[in-house]
Amino acid sequence: MKALTRIGFWLLVVAIGLFSIFPFYYAVISSFRSGSDLFKVAYRPERLDFSNYIAVFERQPFGTNIFNSVVVAGSVVALSLGLGITAAYAFGRIRFRGRSLLLMTILTVSMFPQVAVLSGMFELIRSFGLYNTLPGLILANLMLTLPFTIWVLTTFMRELPKEIEEAAFVDGATPWIVVRRVFLPLMMPAAVTTGLLAFIVSWNEFLFALTFTLTNEQRTVPPAIALMSGSTAYELPWGTIMAASVIVTVPIIALVLIFQRKIVAGLTAGAVKG
């Protein structure tokens, strides 16, 4: 009976592991197969054929798409953290009237369905002349990352002991200096966590990127992959799509594996964004 439970337990572990990894594993093998090879199902890697990886950069501006994604996600992270840390200091360390109401309002923004702001955002971006540009996407993505950045950072901020800034204030430091000199270094771990989450959200964002860009050169990676088409309308270039998928997923998986603990801490502290 005991042995049976153990076997059952390990079977479950293996099943969960396989279920989690297999789609990515299969994408990797598919990406190394091309031509008619691709249309025979294979469970094991046979050879390393890089033609799909070359094709993805030759047949379309995928390098530019990756660059766009890095610029958008990087700027979104920088702006969210910059705004988020100062706001979180105020929310987490200073008592003032209307604080919890404001915090709740910000939290509700993170629950907004993206599509609810779509037409208004479209008008806004177009009136700023930012349609089909990267700054337009940065602006739009801030709506997704800023609320939970503030929320998670405020949670972290509250947990720091109270004496930290008292000493500095007694010494006559201004709040701005306190934030920069005292809290910024202390907040680094939390900032890394939230920054990572914001990066992943922005890197994966699809609806805004699809709607607010028009030309392939301005697209970020997700719409570029979604709209990848082959020589004919009916034949999708699966090999190239899989190669592109692997290219953009590997850095994210690496980040997640390296910062696993931090990400889990951020997710459970915020529990705001999936």
Interactions with other proteins, residue window 170-229 (CB under 8 A): 170, 174-176, 179, 200, 203-204, 206-207, 211, 221-223, 225-226
Helix axis angle, 62-93 relative to 134-159, nearest 10°?
30
User: Among 41, 47, 231, 235, which residue interacts with other proteins (rule: CB under 8 A)?
Assistant: 41
User: Among 60-68, 70-78, 180-188, 255-263, which window interacts with other proteins (CB under 8 A)?
Assistant: 255-263
Residues with Cβ < 8 Å from 52, sequence gap 6 or more?
31, 32, 33, 34, 239, 240, 242, 243
User: Among 26-34, 56-64, 70-78, 183-191, which window interacts with other proteins (CB under 8 A)?
Assistant: 26-34
User: Among 49-57, 58-66, 187-195, 246-254, which window interacts with other proteins (CB under 8 A)?
Assistant: 246-254
Q: What are phi and psi of 61, to 5 degrees?
A: -75, 60
Task: Tell the smallest beta-carbon distance from residue 40 to other proteins (Å).
Answer: 8
Site for other proteins in 44-63 (CB under 8 A): none
How far apart, in whole angstroms, are the C-alpha atoms of residue 34 and residue 59?
15
Closest CA to 223 of 120, 55, 69: 69
Task: Tell the smallest beta-carbon distance from residue 50 to other proteins (Å).
Answer: 19
How far apart, in whole angstroms, are the C-alpha atoms of residue 193 and residue 191?
5
Task: Tell the smallest beta-carbon distance from residue 72 to other proteins (Å).
Answer: 13
User: Among 44, 161, 231, 232, which residue interacts with other proteins (rule: CB under 8 A)?
Assistant: 161
- How many chain residues are in contact with other proteins, going by CB under 8 A? 100
| DSSP assignment of 139-184 | HHHHHHHHHHHHHHHHHHHHHS-THHHHHHHHTT--HHHIIIIIIH
Task: Tell the smallest beta-carbon distance from residue 128 to other proteins (Å).
Answer: 10
Q: Does 268 bind other proteins (CB under 8 A)?
A: yes
Q: Are 269 and 155 in contact (CB under 8 A)?
A: yes
